[in-house]
Chains A and B, each alone.
Chain A
Amino acid sequence: MTLGSFVVRNAFRNKRRSLLTLVSISFSLLLLTLMICIWRSFYIDQVAPEASRRVITRDRVSLAFFLPAFYRDKIRSIQGVTAVAPMTWFGGRYLDERPAHFFAQVATDPDEYLKVASDKIVPPDQLKAWQQDRAGALVDVTLANKYGWKIGDRITLLGTIFEVNPELTIRAIYHRDPPQNAPYFNAKYLEEAVPWFKGQAGWYSTQIDSAENVARASQQIDDMFRNSPLQTKTESEKAFQLGFIATLGNVKAFILGICGAVMFAIMLVSGNTMAMSVRGRTREVAVLKTLGFTRQRVLSIFVSESMALSVAGGMLGTGIAIPVIWFLTRQFIALGVPLNMRVNWQTATLSLVVAIALGLVSGCIPAYRASRMNIVEGLRHIG
């Protein structure tokens, strides 16, 4: 019997208590892992190299206002711009109003769109077909699989913002990692159907030649339109997406608050369990000290037990987190939010380190009290 196995055996001696503590800690840690993943994907994750060269130019005041078509050529004249595509949120419905059938639909220019969205993979023959059919649609492979669409199928979108129900023929299917649920169609179709939309675009998606030039080019684009009636705001695609999340409220404070509450809860549960454990082993501790175990030894034994429990709970929690986060990411993508959350090594390690630290801290007080126990009193203790 080594000290290690002694600690582990004792930590899981009372099976029911250990199990309950484990499960409780694991749920708290599940939440913590979730928060870490969200924080990482919002604020830390770097985007793929192609995506990092894309900027979005929109009306400075609100995305609800359109930009004139002639802005496109002016943006193109900025040094470093390799491609500019107009984008307009169609915002229609498919089949009915239920959230299960909700996905983004965007009107754009097929001739230039894929130069900007270079991370979407489309077979060249399909791309050509889409460019040649004014009523054609480019759809995502996940969406196509969901509804069983094939090349040549016709789909009808029901317009809400625009008074038209486009009947589109699927001409191309794209793959992208991570997947994005949006069909794209030709903006000219929209212009012909809705006269007041002619000569406008919702926003412009621009590709810059290198990531280093992004900041400078963005600034130059905005400067160019500063004295126009419709001023622009140009930012990286990532910042644009983050902007939507920021409007939800003080997200950072919320995440940090949850993390704090969760860590406190873990400490409470873990400390509680250790206190109960120590209380039940008073005579045992006295015997240990009689045998010659020093105070420090006793202290370290109990702290180690606490850490063993919290590590086990942590591993369980991180394990549960993997499928839960996978499920949540799928939900987000279905809603059109391109969040790609994955539990990677760094996140799992961070969660476990936090668990160990909390186990250590929460075990300190009960362990200290055990170590300072009076041997004679302990031996005399009944119950």
Chain B
Amino acid sequence: MDFLNALVALCNYVLVPSIAYGSQLALGALGVTLIYGILRFSNFAHGDTMAFGATVTILFTWLLQSFGISFGPLPTALLALPFGILGCIALVLTTDRLVYRFYRQQKAKPVILVIVSMGVMFIMNGLVRFILGPANRKFTDGERFIISAREFKAMTGLREGLAFKTTQGITVITAVVVVIALFWFLNRTRTGKSMRAYSDNEDLALLSGINPERVVMVTWLIVASLATIAGVLYGLDKSFKPFTYMLLLLPIFASAIVGGLGNPFGAIAGGFLIAFSEVTITYAWKKVLVYALPEQWEPTGLVQLLSTDYKYAVSFSLLIIVLLFRPTGLFKGKSV
């Protein structure tokens, strides 16, 4: 029995990766939940909005790299991020002007807007593949680790190493900063409060003189920023591939719905819940158990509940369980 090594292995393979993945899902789910709360539809194009923001960021990263500009130990992509956000804002505002506004004026039902957003999804996905191609791209540079497994072993003398990647550190820090900024905006500023008011009671918001077109525009600005940040962080941490982002839609929606659609706090909690479930259920626990259990109880198999290929099944099952027993999500969201 060796609890310390068990704990380190648990951190290395389960806790750290799921905190990073959870932060990425939470940022994605915040965007979905804001659109749902304010524009009142489920935005299926969100995964590809993330992909587009990441694409623009990658293009600017390459441009900066070609000028010989780097960000020291941090990835150059962080310098390119503001340009990615601007590019993504331009795309979503254009989409809103050309597509969504028409349906808003028709007072289209949410289900129609969902189908419309699917169309937008395919177009955005095509756009991204047209610009960058469908291949897998890595655009991380700078220092790879904050603490590498070898350094950790040398420092502690333990048999198990704990690697902490730069991208994971950046992901968590950025997510915390962004979430604090978002909550400050929604709860403390006049515009943020008007967005909450519009989400709460549209008619009364109109009666109070809140301009719906402005609320919608500010929402898109925030959503595009969140989507780009989430997309870039995910791309830095794993890699960038257009279809992966389309598939990310499932865990992101699961996070938003499990947390309670329309509730920003729920989106964050949902993101971490989904991430932890996916990782813990698809992780092969043998290593941790070998350290944690007495010798005669040592497992012979991998102790992996599901193969990692099935990780989306985990989010889907969780989604169904929550919808069956708590249709408005763990935190009180809106029910359609």
Q: Does A pair with B? A: no
